[in-house]
Amino acid sequence: GDSVTQMEGPVTLSEEAFLTINCTYTATGYPSLFWYVQYPGEGLQLLLKATKADDKGSNKGFEATYRKETTSFHLEKGSVQVSDSAVYFCALSDQGGGNKLTFGTGTQLKVEL
C-alpha cells in the first residue's frame, strides 16, 4: 500500500538557518504530494503541493520539488523564522483517491532566536 516516510523530529534551528525536512514515499501510479503545517492549537493547513513529476510547490518561502526518480518531496526553506515553529506533515493522495490522504509521522520544528 501507499506510505510516506519523513524524518523524525524534533528539529531545532536558530533563526535564519536553512531548513530541510526529508520526505520519501511509496505509491502505485502517480500520486499528488503535499506538505501540511500544524501550528500550536490549530488544524492542519495546506502549505504547498505538487501534482506531477518535477513540479515545484512553494508558499511562504517554503519549497518542495516532486522527484519521481528518487520518490522524494523534501521541504526546504532558506531562512527560518521563530513563527515557522510548528509540526510539518508530508502526505500523498493517490491518483483517483480524491481527498484521501496518506500521511507521514510529522516533524516538529522549533526555531529559536
Partner 1 sequence: GAVVSQHPSRVICKSGTSVKIECRSLDFQATTMFWYRQFPKQSLMLMATSNEGSKATYEQGVEKDKFLINHASLTLSTLTVTSAHPEDSSFYICSAINATNEKLFFGSGTQLSVL
Q: Is 89 in the site for partner 1 (CB under 8 A)?
A: yes
Show the site string, 23-42: x = touches partner 1 by CB under 8 A, - = not: -------------x-x--xx
Residue count, binding to partner 1 (CB under 8 A):
20
CA–CA separation, 32 vs 37, rounded Å? 17
Angstrom distances, CA of residue 78 to CA of 20, 52, 83: 9, 24, 14
- Which is closer to partner 1, CB of 36 or CB of 62? 36
Q: Is 95 in the site for partner 1 (CB under 8 A)?
A: no
- Which is closer to partner 1, CB of 41 or CB of 113? 41
Angstrom distances, CA of residue 62 to CA of 34, 56, 96: 12, 10, 27
CB of 58 to partner 1, least distance (A): 18
- Which is closer to partner 1, CB of 70 or CB of 99? 99
Among 16, 46, 56, 95, binds partner 1 (CB under 8 A): 46
CB-neighbour burial class of residue 58 (10 A; exposed 0-12, middle 13-18, buried 19+): middle
Q: What is the DSSP letter of 72?
A: B
